Chains A and B, each alone.
Chain A
Amino acid sequence: MAAGSISEDEYWDSIIFFLTLSSKIDSKWTIVDTKDGRRFAKKTEVFILSTENKESTMNDDVIRNTELMEEQEEDTAAFQVRGNSDVEVVTYEYHILYSPSYGVPVLYFNAHTQGGKLLALEEVWKRVPDVYKERLSEERWTFITQQEHPLLGRPFYYLHPCHTADLMKNSPVLTDKRHYIVSWLSAVGPVVGLKLPLEYGKLCVS
């Protein structure tokens, strides 16, 4: 195996470890079995995005998301009025798959509005947090694009895996290969709004 990559067996060990952590923390990740006996890890997350400011990125949105949720608890009626006028509910579905070609995990995702409409690629790019914007402007077409989901055959967005091994090669040394997924996901997830609670890192250490 090249530096930074993992074998499929190591990958599954790491996924199982990751799901065990998830069950202790937020239980948001599950394993999906496809019709032809293949598997992948999946998580669904609902974001409440501002429509006032179309340029807002996932960073701002997440903050807004939390604020609104708190508001909702206080006053449901007020939330609903606001909800109808200036926010948009977008459901993100994240899949983690193993790429045998690259020997690394790959993050696939789709994002649908409440009406069931798929977020366009331009919209997905727009929502990438500012810290990654420079890279996005230089190489958007080799960063996030649409691709056929290798196990479902349907269109999904994905983060190109060609630099993942390099990224992981330079990440802090993994004393336990089972920590690979946590380390990888905390590095690439935030690009598309996927943030791992700190507890994942803490549980890895303990």
Chain B
Amino acid sequence: MGENREIQKGVWEGRIPVAFRLSEEDTDGERPEPVYLMVPRISYFPLHTEKINKHFLKYASEKESEEIWLEHDNQPLKWHYPVGLLFDLYGSETSLPWTITVHFKDFPEEELLHCVSKDAVESHFMSSIKEADSLKHRGQVINSMQKRDHKQLWTGLLHDKFDQFWSVNKKLMESSGDETFKYIPYRLYMVDRHYMTNLFRPLTEEGHHQSLKHLLLSAVPQFFNEDEEFQKHVRIHGTEPLLDTPILWLSENFSFPDNFLHLVISDK
């Protein structure tokens, strides 16, 4: 790992300052002060909002605790997307802290998955890792691991333990010689439409490295002009990686803990 460890640690330590406010519809009288929190970009909201929910519930008019959900600027936030992806998608043009409204009523069932407990987050997280390994190694690495290792990936994320997580994750990220990733686990996101993905190989048949630009050219050719210049912006972890970056390197170092590259495409 060496120098890459610093990059992986940088990705891991990204935080977003968030101001959580209780929605007006949820209070009878006094609206409580917002609650401020630094939320890890690579994590999921339900792993961080437990105390906030308890706090706000004291002020909520519905004491029958209906399911909590979050919204920014009338956009319900999908808890199963990592925080940093949601911010790059919906919040990157707003001033900090990122203001998020907490709701207890009218759960938007047509848009959001239910999250009854952290088990739902763990299940989603582990499914993503399995799917990613199916793309990279036909599932051979994740399936050869023990339950203990699977648990360590999850608890590493849950308790924000970089070394604990990466000591197992490095096996999933191994790609040397013939054993390079078969396909790159990635998803492309844009506001107002659901994500896109496709099978994309990191190396050409001749063994040349494919870049981020090649991936975008294959997935969203409509966003390139005649001179093959990308007409949009692509963002991950709050940065715009160079389009020449080899996609294999990005996959190994810039993937979220769920082992996917979640890339946001925007106009600005």
* Contact residues in A for B199 (Cβ distance below 8 Å): 100
14 A-B pairs besides A101-B135, A146-B114 with CB distance below 8 A are: A36-B193, A101-B134, A102-B139, A141-B122, A145-B123, A145-B124, A146-B113, A146-B120, A147-B124, A148-B113, A148-B194, A150-B194, A153-B195, A162-B139
Query: Which residue, A146, A153, A160, has most C-beta atoms of chain B within 10 A?
Result: A146
Give the distance to chain A from B140, nearest Cβ to Cβ, in Å. 9
Is B113's CB under 8 angstroms from A147's CB? yes
Chain B, 109-144, CB within 8 A of any chain A CB: 109-114, 116, 119-120, 122-124, 126-127, 130-132, 134-135, 138-139
Is B198 among interface residues, defined by CB-CB distance under 8 A? Answer: yes
Is B15 among interface residues, defined by CB-CB distance under 8 A? Answer: no
Cross-chain pair count, CB within 8 angstroms: 59
Provided the pairs A100-B199, A148-B80 are in contact, do residues A142 and B123 lie with their beta carbons within 8 angstroms?
Answer: yes
Give the distance to chain B from A182, nearest Cβ to Cβ, in Å. 24
CA distance A120 to B109 in the complex (A): 11
Chain A, 1-19, CB within 8 A of any chain B CB: 2
**Contact digits for B165-195, partner A, Cβ 8 Å, 1 yes 0 no:** 0000000000000000001010000000111
Is A118 among interface residues, defined by CB-CB distance under 8 A? Answer: yes
Give the distance to chain B from A3, nearest Cβ to Cβ, in Å. 10
Residue of B134, B183, B193 near A162 (CB, 8 A) is B134
Is B130's CB under 8 angstroms from A162's CB? yes
Is A152's CB under 8 angstroms from B116's CB? no
Is B78 among interface residues, defined by CB-CB distance under 8 A? Answer: yes
**Contact digits for B90-122, partner A, Cβ 8 Å, 1 yes 0 no:** 000000000000000000011111101001101
* Contact residues in B for A101 (Cβ distance below 8 Å): 131-132, 134-135, 183, 185
* Contact residues in B for A63 (Cβ distance below 8 Å): none
Query: Which residue, B126, B127, B193, has most C-beta atoms of chain A within 10 A?
Result: B127
Is B194's CB under 8 angstroms from A152's CB? yes
CA distance A102 to B123 in the complex (A): 17
Is A54 among interface residues, defined by CB-CB distance under 8 A? Answer: no
Give the distance to chain A from B79, nearest Cβ to Cβ, in Å. 11
Provided the pairs A101-B134, A148-B78 are in contact, do residues A118 and B194 lie with their beta carbons within 8 angstroms?
Answer: no
Provided the pairs A141-B119, A141-B123, A145-B123 are in contact, do residues A155 and B110 lie with their beta carbons within 8 angstroms?
Answer: yes
What number of A residues sit within 8 Å (CB to CB) of B? Answer: 22
**Contact digits for A91-111, partner B, Cβ 8 Å, 1 yes 0 no:** 000000000111000000000
Provided the pairs A101-B134, A162-B134 are in contact, do residues A118 and B78 lie with their beta carbons within 8 angstroms?
Answer: no
Is A202 among interface residues, defined by CB-CB distance under 8 A? Answer: no
* Contact residues in A for B195 (Cβ distance below 8 Å): 153
* Contact residues in B for A148 (Cβ distance below 8 Å): 78, 80, 113, 194
Residue of A nearest to B80 (CB): A148
Q: Which 7 A-B pairs have the closest CB atoms?
A: A153-B194, A141-B123, A146-B113, A101-B131, A155-B113, A101-B134, A162-B130
Is B113's CB under 8 angstroms from A118's CB? no
* Contact residues in B for A146 (Cβ distance below 8 Å): 113-114, 120
Is A46 among interface residues, defined by CB-CB distance under 8 A? Answer: no
Is B138's CB under 8 angstroms from A2's CB? yes
Chain B, 53-93, CB within 8 A of any chain A CB: 78, 80
**Contact digits for A120-142, partner B, Cβ 8 Å, 1 yes 0 no:** 11000000000000000000011
Residue of B nearest to A146 (CB): B113
Is B109's CB under 8 angstroms from A118's CB? yes
